[in-house]
């Protein structure tokens, strides 16, 4: 097996790695045929070793399309805010003006825009298996997710969405930082997110 020391090599790195070969592209193609390299998209690969060692989907998502960070339902599942398994990695982008989907041999990755004003706020690094990737904080993931729903003005209706539909635990919701949500909410220009900020404040009284 070819020794490729990085888990997500791109074409530029691979061409440099195999520059002593007569035809680096042929070498890369041979490694693909042997399944030692798996193409994620044109110009980006993952090694079979990385797949076998359960390389974090969040890190793949960051590299696959960007700038981006993991958010929405997948981030909420990472934090155990929702009980259901989330099979596809969901990420936030800015300025793309359209949703994006990548179907790869290692999973499906979805991307959608959030307002530019909130994009860089309340994002952190998460470490999984010694690998770091960008992910929304729980507060940001909740706001991102709710910003994609229809307009909700009623606290009771929002509670039904959070507790019955998304099945978020009441105690988990109590653990979020009210100040972060209050600072983020106006930047979404979303009635639903503003309603969420009101709900969190009322729960903390």
Query: Which tokens sit at 66?
Result: 């960007």
Query: Which tokens sit at 34?
Result: 């042997």
Alpha carbon 180 to chain centroid distance? 20
Query: Which tokens sit at 38?
Result: 């798996």
pLDDT digits (tens, 9 = 90+) for 8-67: 999 999 999 999 999 999 999 999 999 999 999 999 999 999 999 999 999 999 999 999
- Distance between CA atoms of residues 94 and 58, nearest Å: 17
Domain boundary assignment for the chain: 11-52, 57-203
pLDDT digits (tens, 9 = 90+) for 94-136: 999 999 999 999 999 999 999 999 999 999 999 998 999 999 9
- Distance between CA atoms of residues 58 and 78, nearest Å: 10
pTM for this predicted structure:
0.94
């Amino acid at each position: 097996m070819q020794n490729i020391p990085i888990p997500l090599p791109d074409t530029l790195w691979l061409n440099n790695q195999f520059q002593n070969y007569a035809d680096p592209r042929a070498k890369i193609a041979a490694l693909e045929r042997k399944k030692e390299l798996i193409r994620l998209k044109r110009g980006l690969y993952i090694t079979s070793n990385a797949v076998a060692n359960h390389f974090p989907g969040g890190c793949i998502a960051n590299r696959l399309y960007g700038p981006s960070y993991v958010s929405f339902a997948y981030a909420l599942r990472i934090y155990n805010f929702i009980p259901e398994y989330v099979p596809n990695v969901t990420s936030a982008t800015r300025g793309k003006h359209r949703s994006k989907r990548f179907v790869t041999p290692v999973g499906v990755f979805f991307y959608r825009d959030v307002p530019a004003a909130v994009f860089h706020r309340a994002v952190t690094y998460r470490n999984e298996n010694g690998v770091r990737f960008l992910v929304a904080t729980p507060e940001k993931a909740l706001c991102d997710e709710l910003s994609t729903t229809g307009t909700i003005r009623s606290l009771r209706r929002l509670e039904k969405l959070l507790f019955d539909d998304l099945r978020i635990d009441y105690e988990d919701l109590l653990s979020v930082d009210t100040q972060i949500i209050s600072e983020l909410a106006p930047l979404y220009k979303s009635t639903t997110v503003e309603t969420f900020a009101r709900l969190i404040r009322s729960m903390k009284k």
